[in-house]
Amino acid sequence: MTASELTPPPQQAIVDCVNPQRFYIDGAWQQAEAPASFDVVNPATECVLGQIAMGNAHDVDRAVAAARRAFPGFAGTSVEARAALLERIHALMLQRADELALALSLEMGVACTYARAAQVPLAAEHVRVAREALLAYPFLQRHGTTAVAREAIGVCGLITPWNWPLYQITAKMAPAIAAGCCVVLKPSELSPYSALMFAQLMHDAGVPPGVFNLVNGSGPEVGAAMAEHPGIDMISITGSTRAGVLVAQAAAPTVKRVTQELGGKSPNLMLPDTDFARAVPLGVAAAFRNVGQSCSAPTRMIVPRNALRQVEELACQAAAALIVGDPMSPDTTLGPIANRAQFERVQQMIAVGLEDGARLLCGGLGRPDGLATGFYARPTIFSSVRTQMRIAQEEIFGPVLCILPYDTVEEAIAIANDTVYGLGAHVQGTDVAQARAVAGRIRAGQVLINHPAWDPFAPFGGYKLSGNGREYGRHGLEEYLETKAILGFGEA
């Protein structure tokens, strides 16, 4: 991709091409009930991009009513019709990839090259995979004279985060649509433009009125109204563990299904026979991908003590090769942290690491040299980290890597499991049988051995405080289905 291909149109063109003061409800852009405005800030410049309307419980009521009206008809559509809709959505995402990537860069600071190479195409993959899962799924199975039917659960409330805005929308929306559900989406107000563009894309793809609805707003207002709404049958949330707990509590009186993909503090366990020259740079890249703002980022590198110095040198070399800067530049590896609150959190946790006695290898407090404006953070690596330290226990959500030494493999496994989280994990080692055995002992919902290629069909979700339920592929589709047994159905 050339620099000229990355040259963006004026940022106002992205702001103007969506409907920031309106919500998408019942197949049309509609005015907010009593709009309050919210400033959307470009994290690279700290300037306001524009304002969006913030909804309330009445807006949620309107969206839910539209979804409930649409549900009986949409749930009764054929598999082929829903597959065709998903195919149109997928095609439009690929056609509009450049505009979506630019919106992501402007609203949350991701490097435009990474948005175009990863955030948008991986989001589109969720749509393609949901279509494939739909076409292969056995919605009715017979066991003697009993039939077991899988049916759409109903109206689903989708709450998505600011760090992978489009990716998380499609990870939820696509299987919900495949199942025959209708949805009400609340994207993060911190990165709303890609969601608004996606709503227009859904309209252009021909989604029936009421099947897809979008209401912007805050978690305490719109998110809470969705969680407690009796007209919503299921909530799927990706966010912090704190937010997931609050949603589950609000949803409890209506006994709706709640699936949660929450926080993480993922280990990267390197066995003694690891090819460190390969594994360490890949581990640094994985930890710092998306500026470390990924819930499954492997930010705890657990390494043999006798290889600590070698790992430190390799890690620092990998960090030094990263280019932090303007997300619109084709040379940039890492853009800014997505918002001011998260930038301040990252700075606070770097200070905590220093105060607790972790050994700073590179990076540290403040912005990188030459970047006085924008929420830019230094790629930071601590070594000689003890598992009891806060930086080894708390999700930092920024470009901060901890290196923890071990003396035995048993100790390494104990360190890997010594956290309240259990979302993702990595294991490295040339003895694949040993790596498999270690992977089987790590309490996490997804374990990657020797940095394999991403598999969009592999179920993704957490143990412990990282949540419940699974996304992606067949497992993601099944979260949006109810099970009905029909006895006396008759022989096949």
Q: How far apart are CA 485 and CA 466, in angstroms?
A: 32
Q: Which candidate in 99, 189, 228, 261 is catalytic?
A: 261
Q: How far apart are CA 219 and CA 186, in angstroms?
A: 9
Phi, psi (degrees; rounded to nearest 5) at 383: -125, 175
- Cβ-contact 301, 285 below 8 angstroms: no
Taking each helix axis from N to C end, the angle separating 97-108 and 193-204, rounded to the nearest 10 degrees, works out to 160
Phi, psi (degrees; rounded to nearest 5) at 35: -65, 130
Residue 79, number of CB atoms within 10 A of its CB: 15
Domain identity same for 114 and 244: yes
Q: Is residue 378 part of a domain?
A: yes
Rg (CA), the chain: 23
Domain identity same for 271 and 258: no
Q: How far is CA 48 from CA 12, 38, 44, 370, in A?
A: 11, 10, 11, 22
Q: Copy the structure tokens of residue 311.
A: 């790992």
Domain identity same for 213 and 311: no
Domain identity same for 184 and 285: no
Residue 390, number of CB atoms within 10 A of its CB: 13
Q: CATH code at 379?
A: 3.40.309.10
Q: Copy the structure tokens of residue 56.
A: 């309330």
161 SS3 class: coil
What's the gap between Cα 169 and its chain centre? Answer: 8
DSSP conformation class of 230: T
Domain identity same for 278 and 244: no
For this structure, is 295 an active site residue? yes
Q: Is residue 490 part of a domain?
A: no
Give me the residue label for tokens 């009764």.
Answer: 76
**pLDDT, position 2:** 41
Q: How far apart are CA 100 and CA 37, in angstroms?
A: 23
Q: Is residue 492 part of a domain?
A: no
**pLDDT, position 21:** 76
Phi-psi region at 472: left, alpha or beta (left = phi > 0; alpha = psi -120 to 50): left
110 SS3 class: coil
Q: What total number of domains does the chain contain?
A: 2
- Cβ-contact 399, 363 below 8 angstroms: yes
Domain identity same for 219 and 357: no
Give, for 284, the enclosing helix (H) or strand (E): helix 276-288
Q: Is residue 15 part of a domain?
A: yes
Q: How far apart are CA 247 and CA 449, in angstroms?
A: 33
Q: Which candidate in 112, 295, 316, 362 is catalytic?
A: 295
Residues contacting 313, CB < 8 A, separation 6+:
none
Q: Is residue 438 part of a domain?
A: yes
Domain identity same for 283 and 254: no
For this structure, is 189 an active site residue? no
Q: How far apart are CA 124 and CA 117, in angstroms?
A: 11
Domain identity same for 257 and 273: no
Domain residues for the domain of 58 are 3-262+468-485
Q: Is 294 exposed, middle or buried, given 0-12, 13-18 or 19+ CB atoms closer than 10 A?
A: buried
Q: Is residue 473 part of a domain?
A: yes
Q: Copy the structure tokens of residue 191.
A: 């990165």
Q: How far apart are CA 154 and CA 212, in angstroms?
A: 12
Residues contacting 143, CB < 8 A, separation 6+:
none
Q: Is the dihedral of CA 190, 191, 197, 202 positive or negative?
A: negative
Q: CATH code at 155?
A: 3.40.605.10
Domain identity same for 218 and 298: no
Q: What is the pLDDT along the chain (492 residues), one digit of tens a residue?
A: 443 344 444 466 666 666 777 899 999 999 887 778 899 999 999 999 999 999 999 999 999 999 999 999 999 999 999 999 999 999 999 999 999 999 999 999 999 999 999 999 999 999 999 999 999 999 999 999 999 999 999 999 999 999 999 999 999 999 999 999 999 999 999 999 999 999 999 999 999 999 999 999 999 999 999 999 999 999 999 999 999 999 999 999 999 999 999 999 999 999 999 999 999 999 999 999 999 999 999 999 999 999 999 999 999 999 999 999 999 999 999 999 999 999 999 999 999 999 999 999 999 999 999 999 999 999 999 999 999 999 999 999 999 999 999 999 999 999 999 999 999 999 999 999 999 999 999 999 999 999 999 999 999 999 999 999 999 999 999 999 999 999 999 976
Domain identity same for 336 and 399: yes
- Cβ-contact 221, 227 below 8 angstroms: no
- Cβ-contact 82, 181 below 8 angstroms: no
Q: How many helices (H) and strands (E) does the chain have?
A: 18, 22
Domain identity same for 153 and 224: yes
Q: Is the dihedral of CA 275, 280, 282, 286 positive or negative?
A: positive
Domain identity same for 214 and 303: no
